[in-house]
Amino acid sequence: MSKLHIVANRLPYSLVKEENEYSLIESVGGLATGMKSVYTEYGGKWIGWSGVNSDELSNDESTKIDQLLDEKSCVTVPLSEQEILEYYEGFSNKTVWPLFHYFTQYVDYSPENWETYKRVNQRFADRVLEVAEDGDTVWVHDYQLLLVPEMIKSVKPNVTVGFFLHIPFPSYEVFRILPWRMELLKGMLGADLLGFHIYDYERHFLSSVRRLYGYEIAFNQIHAGNRIIKADSFPMGIDYEKFRKTSTMVMHKTIQERSDLHKELEKYFMTSPDRRLVLSIDRLDYTKGIPQRLKAFRKFLEKYPEFHGKVTLIMLAVPSRGQVEEYVNLKKEVDELVGNINGTYGNINYTPVWYFYRAMPFENLVELYNMSDVALITPLRDGMNLVAKEYVASRGNQTGVIVLSEMAGVAQEMGEAITINPINEDEIAAALHTALTMPIDEQKERMKFLQERIQRYSVFKWAGEFVNALENVKRIQKEFLVKKITDKVFTEINDKYKKAGKRAIFLDYDGTLTSFHKNPQEATPNEELYTILNRLIADERNTVTIISGRDRYTLEKWFADVPINLICEHGVWLRKHGEEWQTITKVNNDWMPIIRPVLERVVDRTPGSFIEEKNYSLVWHYRKAEPEQSLIRANELKDELLDLVGNLNLEIMEGSKVIEVKSGGINKGIAANQFIHNENFDHIIAMGDDWTDEYMFTELPKEAVTVKVGIQRTSANFKLESVDAVRQFLSQLGE
């Protein structure tokens, strides 16, 4: 049975050493919780770093640790201190992390760190390759492992690879700054499915792919050579029930059973009936907007003196990346601000900011969620922010208000929160005031909606949806395999071919016989192609026809010396070898003077695009224009044309980076059928890559061997993956 393996920087267990013996503690983080259900259910392994650097371990210890982890279906990737420094603290946290969060001023461009990042990513991939077999699925997580998908795919193309990015993917304008942008994208594009928290990150990613690699993108599918790669958004959830149950449990404890923190909080509330708690929880990270939050709280106290002595900000900052300069400075700034606020507004009975610089046990965390009237969550950038969801899940009595930064991914799911710009101190201060004075009924109404949504889309549902989407991708890949011309299928086709007395072979040109080029004029046939065609034509039982959307002059020029038939402009023109050009159906082009100015206006506004005029069609080419602008223009143009074409009996055809307007009532299918009409072909082969070739595949007799080049859905009977495969197929016919 095929398995599903997880790859993440860290394993879902930590190692603790007591009396020289290592043992494991289960990790309780969101990712570990969500993923454990997945990889155990699908019988896979979790591949990651154990958290202990390999220089510290003797051989015996390493073997013992590997055994312990093996019992939990975990596979370690050993990392030395130097590697952790350069791959994890270096490239991951000092390059990718700040850049992807728009902190370009903090980005470290050390080439040494990049080299180590590549080497360590390769080590992760090697471990995966030892474990994963053909047909298995691998789900790779996050920004530390951006290169791993391609490293897996290039060696084992039959392993399905998913990738999820937990942090934002930045706009192209920011991403392009990175000297290694091409390599990072290439690494990610090894995945069959790329997941992001929200659509904004997905569209930024697609935009970078389009601009840097020029791949065609239809909705959320990237057509990269012979592969289809899907990008989609999956907003990560939490283990809702765990927070809800823990919250109920801690609140029902007897006074004696309660934690010290709980007792402290109760004492605070007991001193006065109108005391309020505002909660702030994050890792101490510059992306989380902690100094700005403190300044906004100071502004709130300044603007609303009636809350002095009544509102306390309880701020939990979990130590993080403490060796890095920016984090050391941040810690200092936060310490000073807390001192300043407490010094200015505090007194012997009142401390405005309670500041904890440490991690707390889970139960304490839930107590804080449960007892705080307002959650103040103001990151400058945040991929999702699970704290907001955990606060919602812990609110047993359905009261409480969230003041939430619009820069957190989670803001898109929380219309009921009060959203703010995290730099705008006045706005945050006002939002805090609104939150603290919000009537209970309104709080409950908002909280009810939030709870319903977050309960429904839990971390398990999130993981399940991602796995389902991966299964879908797998299905598409299988569909390809079902129709693929294998050696065995080729032998069958070839046997029939050899027995046939009279054969018709229809070949599309661009994307079938030759690859696409940025400049369409460069797609000239090469020697190999002439040899293949001449060999086919030399067999007098064959009638070979190139059937293309191109104009007749180009094809005539390219195939002047080849005794071949040509069908051009999607079936308008036919030239049988040795005869004159003729039109297959009567078409007119009276419409051209009306449509041409419409296209010219688009060309004027879209640098790099141009118009091609064929006898019976006009084509707007935008392959060389700025890709995103051209897509907008293409949509505008289609809209405008749709209004015009109805009355003029025209068809709008959208091809690869072209929009073609042509007279209606003619296509490759009609043309191919007319061509074989009254002739006794007993074997027909038709090959093409574009959707215009689908007409040919559906209209030809069903016993014809119709071959789609590429992985997309098709009505053809067979598929080949590339131009090379087509050439090989044609070269071997009759052998």
The binding site for ligand GDG (CB under 6 A) comprises 30, 166-167, 236, 281, 283, 316, 318, 359-360, 362, 365, 382-387, 390
Residue 549 Cα distances to 343, 568, 616, 666, angstroms: 77, 6, 11, 12
DSSP letter for each residue of 306-355: GGTTTEEEEEEEE---TTSHHHHHHHHHHHHHHHHHHHHH-BTTB-SEEE
In sequence order, which ranges of 438-581 are alpha helices (DSSP H)? 440-456, 459-483, 487-499, 527-538, 552-558
Is the CB of 382 or the CB of 425 nearer to ligand GDG? 382
Q: Which amino acid is at 587?
A: V
Q: How far is the CB of 282 from ligand GDG (least distance, A)?
A: 6
Q: How far is the CB of 329 from ligand GDG (least distance, A)?
A: 19
Element (H, E) at 684: strand 683-688
- Among candidate residues 551, 546, 550, the one with its CA nearest the CA of residue 530: 546
How many whole angstroms separate alpha carbon 65 and alpha carbon 725?
48
* Parallel/antiparallel/unpaired status of strands 617-621 and 650-655: unpaired
Q: CB neighbours (10 Å) of residue 64?
A: 14
How many whole angstroms separate alpha carbon 605 and alpha carbon 622?
12
Q: How far is the CB of 246 from ligand GDG (least distance, A)?
A: 11
Q: Which amino acid is at 655?
A: G
How many whole angstroms separate alpha carbon 409 and alpha carbon 404?
10
Across the beta sheet with 353-356, the strand order is 353-356, 311-318, 276-283, 374-377, 401-405, 418-420
Element (H, E) at 546: strand 542-547
Q: How far is the CB of 412 from ligand GDG (least distance, A)?
A: 13
Is the CB of 166 or the CB of 708 nearer to ligand GDG? 166
Q: How far is the CB of 316 from ligand GDG (least distance, A)?
A: 6
Q: How far is the CB of 253 from ligand GDG (least distance, A)?
A: 18
Is the CB of 131 or the CB of 279 nearer to ligand GDG? 279
The angle, 0 to 180 degrees and rounded to 10, between the axes of the packed helices 362-371 and 386-394 is 70
Q: How far is the CB of 402 from ligand GDG (least distance, A)?
A: 13
Is the CB of 454 or the CB of 671 nearer to ligand GDG? 454
Is the CB of 360 or the CB of 644 nearer to ligand GDG? 360
How many whole angstroms separate alpha carbon 101 and alpha carbon 120?
23
DSSP 8-state code for residue 409: G
CA-atom Rg of the chain in angstroms: 32
Chain position carrying tokens 């507004």: 345
Report residue 523 as tokens: 């797609």
How many whole angstroms separate alpha carbon 99 and alpha carbon 120?
20
Q: How far is the CB of 86 from ligand GDG (least distance, A)?
A: 22
Is the CB of 167 or the CB of 311 nearer to ligand GDG? 167
487 annotated active-site = no
Residue 622 Cα distances to 224, 418, 592, angstroms: 18, 44, 20
Within 13 A of 624's CA, how many CA atoms are on the CB side? 12
Q: How far is the CB of 313 from ligand GDG (least distance, A)?
A: 16
Q: How far is the CB of 360 from ligand GDG (least distance, A)?
A: 4
How many whole angstroms separate alpha carbon 481 and alpha carbon 711?
9
Phi, psi values for residue 644, rounded to 5°: -95, -35
How many whole angstroms separate alpha carbon 313 and alpha carbon 268?
12
Is the CB of 243 or the CB of 480 nearer to ligand GDG? 243
Q: How far is the CB of 361 from ligand GDG (least distance, A)?
A: 6
- Among candidate residues 1, 10, 41, 31, the one with its CA nearest the CA of residue 195: 31
How many whole angstroms separate alpha carbon 178 and alpha carbon 591?
49
Is the CB of 316 or the CB of 696 nearer to ligand GDG? 316
The angle, 0 to 180 degrees and rounded to 10, between the axes of the packed helices 386-394 and 240-251 is 50
Q: Is 32 helix (H, G, I), strand (E, B) or coil?
A: helix
Is the CB of 167 or the CB of 529 nearer to ligand GDG? 167
Question: With the CA atoms of 240, 245, 251 and 255 taken in that order, what torsion angle do they form, in degrees rounded to the nearest 10?
Answer: -140
Is the CB of 413 or the CB of 425 nearer to ligand GDG? 413
Is the CB of 281 or the CB of 595 nearer to ligand GDG? 281
Angle of CA points 183, 189, 190, to nearest 5°: 100
Is the CB of 365 or the CB of 467 nearer to ligand GDG? 365
Catalytic residue (one of 142, 508, 551, 693): 508
Q: How far is the CB of 94 from ligand GDG (least distance, A)?
A: 16
Q: Is 25 helix (H, G, I), strand (E, B) or coil?
A: strand
Within 13 A of 53's CA, how many CA atoms are on the CB side? 11
DSSP letter for each residue of 416-454: TSEEE-TT-HHHHHHHHHHHHT--HHHHHHHHHHHHHHH
Residues 6+ apart with CB under 8 A from 477: 160, 192, 711
How many whole angstroms separate alpha carbon 217 and alpha carbon 241?
39
Q: How far is the CB of 288 from ligand GDG (least distance, A)?
A: 8
Any idea which residues carry the catalytic annotation? 508
